[in-house]
Chains A and B, each alone.
Chain A
Amino acid sequence: MAITATAGHAHADPHHIGLVVEHLGPAPKRIVTAYGFWVFLLSDIVMFSCFFAAYAVLVGQTADGPKGSEIFEQRNVAIETVCLLLSSFTCGMASIAADVRNRLWFYLGMAVTCVLGLAFLSIEFREFADLVSRGYGPSRSAFLTAFFSLVGCHGLHVSAGVLWLLTMMAQVFAKGFRADILRRMMCFALFWHALDIIWVAVFSVVYLLGGAP
């Protein structure tokens, strides 16, 4: 990033524009890894945007089946949202604890994050099971197909996140706060916070807008 106007570095200024770029060498691996993971997360968000577009297009195609306002329960969605928000906070606490290499707070933060993530998943699973048992499964109408694929895709991401969380706890337990473990922890925190951002879009677009009468 540093650009200085010092003269006399002819080899560093081949076009004689008076600017010498001091090369600092490649960025540390920590930055390269996190940046690459950030690009992956953005592509994941682009994939979710396709599901959102499908939902927005198909939300009215209920094929005489139930509308969103008839099947969504706002109270459950509010509890799910609070679970995810709190888990994002505890995940942040765990990553601070990992940075200062405090094992107790790291395990505590990750365990609470895991419990909140599992609570979210169990509420979502019960909602899906309830809908399917009432005959409102994904094959009932185009609207329900779009709903189950969008919300289910987010749920799959959360499930993968919980598995990753348990892996990180095991790795810290077995290997300690090594540099590579801390890089993985940083990527996990990014993943978990990004899932929260996607959930904000899900509850706003699917449950609040789609649930309006």
Chain B
Amino acid sequence: MSDLSQHGVHEHDLAPGEEEQHSVSTRIIGYVVGLVLALLLTATSFFIAGTNLVWQPSIPIAIIVLAIAQMGVHLVFFLHITTGPDNTNNVLALAFGLLIVFLVVGGSVWIMSHLNENMPSMDQIMRMQ
């Protein structure tokens, strides 16, 4: 952090979606790489979902891992969110958003599955009446 002003770089932060100064061809190559990676990951997910080649209980986990990987590819190659010092604000906002997403989704699934386990089933309730 201390030497930045001596080199005269990082006048300002980068906006989300904004890249550092690159030539047009470098930027296009970045999008092409992102597209190829995203298509590969998508094809793998669809293949895994319908195959009998792998151990069946591993399929949901594989799909979730592939989805998270693909979201990462989109964030890096299309939205240009990096870990550089000029991107700190964007990454912090993203981290907070992810925290809320995991609280909402994880909390809902957790609580509702426990409620389901602890509740008698509907026909049992009917018989008790």
Contact = CB atoms under 8 A, between A and B. Distances in A.
Contacts of B86: 1
A1 B89 contact: no
A89 interface: yes
B101 A96 contact: no
Contacts of B64: 204, 209
Given A50-B104, A200-B67, A1 B85 contact: yes
Main secondary structure of the interface of A (DSSP, over half): helix
Point out which of B17, B42, B74 has the most chain A C-beta atoms below 10 A from its C-beta. B17
Interface string B93-121: 11011001100110111001000000000
A53 B112 CA distance: 10
Nearest to A58: B112
Contacts of B28: 93, 96
Interface in A32-67: 33-35, 37-39, 42-43, 45-46, 49-50, 52-54, 56-57
Interface stretch (A8-16, A74-82, A129-137, A162-170): A74-82
Contacts of A161: none
A4 B10 CA distance: 14
Given A4-B2, A27-B12, A34-B18, 18 more contacts: A2-B5, A3-B2, A30-B18, A35-B16, A35-B90, A38-B16, A39-B93, A42-B93, A52-B105, A56-B109, A57-B112, A85-B39, A86-B35, A92-B31, A197-B79, A200-B74, A204-B45, A204-B64
Interface of A: 1-5, 22, 24, 27-28, 30-31, 33-35, 37-39, 42-43, 45-46, 49-50, 52-54, 56-57, 74, 78, 81-82, 85-86, 88-89, 92-93, 95-96, 100, 186, 189-190, 193-194, 196-197, 200-201, 203-205, 208-209, 211-212
